Amino acid sequence: MRIRIFAAILITISSAAVPSSNAQETKREFLSPFDNSGTWTFVWENDYFANTDRNYTNGVRLSYISGFKKPNGVSKFVAENILDATEDAGIRRGFAIGHSIFTPQDISTSAPLPDQHPYAGWLYGEYTVIVEQQNVVDQFTLQTGIVGPSAKGEFVQNNWHKLINGDPANGWDNQIQDEFGMVIAYDRKLRALFNLGDSSFGADVTPSFGWSLGNIHTNARVGLTLRIGTDLTNDYGPPRVRPSLAGSGFFAPKKRFSWYVFAGASGTAVAHNIFLDGSLFRDGDPSVDSNVLFGDFQAGIAMQVRRVQLAYTYVVRTKEFAQQESAQEFGAVSLSVKF
């Protein structure tokens, strides 16, 4: 059942991802002339914002997305052969490092908790190529990293708790064991399914969809975001940590100051999640009965002043596994700076 649902959604997304003829513009007027500079972004996601400490409890990510660059080597191959970039497309490449931590609801005990989220850490690097064409952004991403004790989830969490006078997490001896991880992902973001107003003040509805394939995550996802504010062509929504509904990781302001509020929802069909299902290649990892489908509901605000953008997002994520007592809630803060 899980594979059939995932396959059906993936086929639908893949067919929708074929570039349309109106995306093959012969002029680059849709590209911001300001966006020749790169964007550095730091994202911090934590359930501390919801006064909890469970399941997906912390995620950090530092990324760099270049301005428009003439592609060469790997980025040229990906842009032209995978993302179908035309001669007049805007092409960016980027890099990121990230770290995520997962824990059960009860962190006080050192005993195994078979009905709660397993302990896990995920330390990874990321390479991405982004192609912007008329009203659409296509993104190819490769993540590689390590899950397990070598990811230092215990070290990061317990030292952070010590710093803020929090309780230690005592069950890290039960975490998912070391495994090299690789994930290939594709995402498409559309400029606007609907828009109203202009750059002074307006509203739009922006859809996105994509898929991930690997021994860490294998899933397919679709999302929709409503934004209300100024200079909405500034970006494609605020940056986040996968598998959340996220923007493209760069912004291209046309004004000295802009802002928008937003609300969105996404659905994800899951074929594999190592943090819930354990390893594909060995037995013995802690695991729970993961759900095939889960949803994210989010709302927040983003503000840009000159070359700096700050955003806050509050997220409610529906249950990801059968034994989960309630939905997950957490917050995300992002700071982006153009250089």
Q: pLDDT value at position 15? A: 46
Query: pLDDT tier at 18 (50, 70, 90 boundaries)?
Result: very low
Residue 85 lies in a domain: yes
- Please state, in angstroms and rounded to a whole number, the distance separating the CA atoms of residues 326 and 320: 10
Where residue 70 sits, what CATH number does that domain have?
2.40.128.140
In single-letter form, the type of residue at position 226 comes to L
In single-letter form, the type of residue at position 25 comes to E
Query: pLDDT tier at 183 (50, 70, 90 boundaries)?
Result: very high
Q: pLDDT value at position 24? A: 40
Q: Which two tokens stand for residue 17?
A: 């991802």
Q: Which two tokens stand for residue 22?
A: 């109106």
Query: pLDDT tier at 294 (50, 70, 90 boundaries)?
Result: very high
Residue 17 lies in a domain: no
**Three-state secondary structure call for residue 73:** helix
Q: What is the mean pLDDT of residues 174-189?
A: 97
Q: pLDDT value at position 200? A: 87
Residue 6 lies in a domain: no
Q: How many domains does the chain have?
A: 1
Residue 103 lies in a domain: yes
Q: Which two tokens stand for residue 49?
A: 């914002």
- Please state, in angstroms and rounded to a whole number, the distance separating the CA atoms of residues 228 and 86: 31
Q: Which tens digits make up the pLDDT trace of 63-87? A: 999 998 888 899 999 999 999 998 8
Q: pLDDT value at position 28? A: 55
Mean pLDDT for the chain overall: 89
Whether residue 13 has pLDDT greater than 90: no
Q: Which tens digits make up the pLDDT trace of 236-248? A: 999 999 878 788 8
**Close Cβ partners of 153 (under 8 Å, ≥ 6 residues apart):** 99, 101, 102, 119, 120, 121, 122, 172, 175
* Least trusted range by pLDDT, from 17-31, 101-115, 217-231: 17-31
Residue 25 lies in a domain: no
Q: pLDDT value at position 260? A: 97
Of residues 88 and 55, more confidently modeled: 55
Its pTM surpasses 0.95 = no
Measuring CA to CA, which residue among 141, 117, 120 is closest to residue 131? 141
Residue 8 lies in a domain: no
Residue 111 lies in a domain: yes
Q: pLDDT value at position 6? A: 54
Residue 9 lies in a domain: no
Q: Which two tokens stand for residue 35?
A: 């966006």
Measuring CA to CA, which residue among 62, 61, 65, 63 is closest to residue 35? 65
Q: Which two tokens stand for residue 295?
A: 């949803």
Q: What is the mean pLDDT of residues 114-130?
A: 97
Q: pLDDT value at position 30? A: 55
What range does the domain containing 126 cover?
Answer: 39-338
**Three-state secondary structure call for residue 172:** helix
Q: Which tens digits make up the pLDDT trace of 124-169? A: 999 999 999 888 999 999 999 999 999 999 999 999 999 989 899 9
Of residues 3 and 175, more confidently modeled: 175
Name the H helices within the chain.
2-16, 73-77, 153-163, 274-277
Q: Which two tokens stand for residue 88?
A: 């007049």
Q: Bridge partners of 294?
A: 268
- The sign of the torsion formed by the CA atoms of 117, 300, 98, 232 equals positive
